[in-house]
Structure 1
């Protein structure tokens, strides 16, 4: 799940995880940016570098969450490929981990995406995948292509060896039918443009694009037939005075004028959003709309959004 900052991608990722866990599913929700946004949404203590259950979904399913820590992932990587766990702890004390990821930024994404790939491909004793789905709260659209294209990022780091093998394995999963990159947007100019740019970049990299999710969508407060007339300035204070007088609203013409100004602003804003809705649909991807919540986002709200995701587009929850 990606999107421009402020579009609510973390909230949508959490709702999608709950949706996928319904009816007995086992889902892992992964955070990659170290903001502990998932912990805040589920009202839990900060997540450690281990998989913790954060919610039980309808039908007995469960959502576990993991906040990937780059240092811990680096130590795990050294132990897995080089049997150097103790040396890794010494490197961390020396600050060498930060130094290594600073001079080779692509290494950081290899570590993060490598952990995601491991969770996707992990199997239990019965040979079945441990998780039915892995939902990733990924970096924003401005960085998503670089984050997912780990093969390109490590080309200058290694042409062979474990790092190269790791990146190739990650790309095999990311480019497979197992993966879909969903994009969250708002009906505003910048988020819609970044969504279009991200889809073009992901497509060029042969990474599978899923749905575009329009978040925080609002309904018009005026009847559809009246919106165009109001936006065109055809509504006047005189039109409202009889109703205000009948309702015994004081203020008369002054109140009527203020209401007209608000109505015109609302109608024009709605027309602008509707035009952007057309631009989103023209991107050629399935489009879903999630409503603007009138209350703070809490666990109850997440469950409501999860149901909405299932109702709107079953393919997103598959």
Structure 2
């Protein structure tokens, strides 16, 4: 029986470990041919030996091939124009097409705001937000050209946000801001690219990865043998695979939380209680109105790590 991604070509960034690796293997298991991207950096984004940067990605490629699948490695920096463009070119050169892009690459530079250096801010914004934008830009340009040439794609993009992007996370101001930015980018891309046959969604996963195991060590601990591993990255991948498949037709511009066996559709910012004076407020007057609105609304979501 063919998998739901049979014949599709899928690119996964940051795919050498954790969520990305789980996604790449899951897509391959469903019949996809996979481009495994990873720069091979440390948890904080610092580079290892540039001559072995494709090593971790190649290991995943070897795993996929050993299981009978098809995959190639890409070791370029997807937060650069050259690297993002070559990512798309690699898929086209190796497999002749591109159907799905999963933006997953990232790292952490955690600090409290007063200790957060500008370099730490820029580095996290670069890999998470710019590292989503550039592959999305180059893949979208390819799909638009295909549509204009009369070869309408059934293209899919899955972006990776976080609960930190939805609610914020103490000690992760840079990461939270970048992940919130990914949500805005997702909505814009879904609106702009829908006419060309491109669907764009985002996930906010909770799983045990290099980025989470230190922050949430106790909650992320692996269970005893035989027990359901609620924090396994593989629990998130079925949703990502479905969103990246033809079967997800009609689902776009959405954000999903995925944790253990639970999938939630996030509803985002919506208009809540409001007051309209039909004229300009005085400061004290609008303050009274705001306090009333806050009392009428539900409680604000708790920021991760807040006391």
Smaller-chain TM-score bracket? 0.3 to 0.5
TM-score w.r.t. length of structure 1: 0.38
Structure with greater helix share of residues: 1
The structure that has the greater radius of gyration is 1
Ranked by relative contact order (alpha carbons within 8 Å, sequence separation 6 or more), the top structure is 1
Instruction: Give the TM-score normalised by the residue count of structure 2.
Output: 0.39
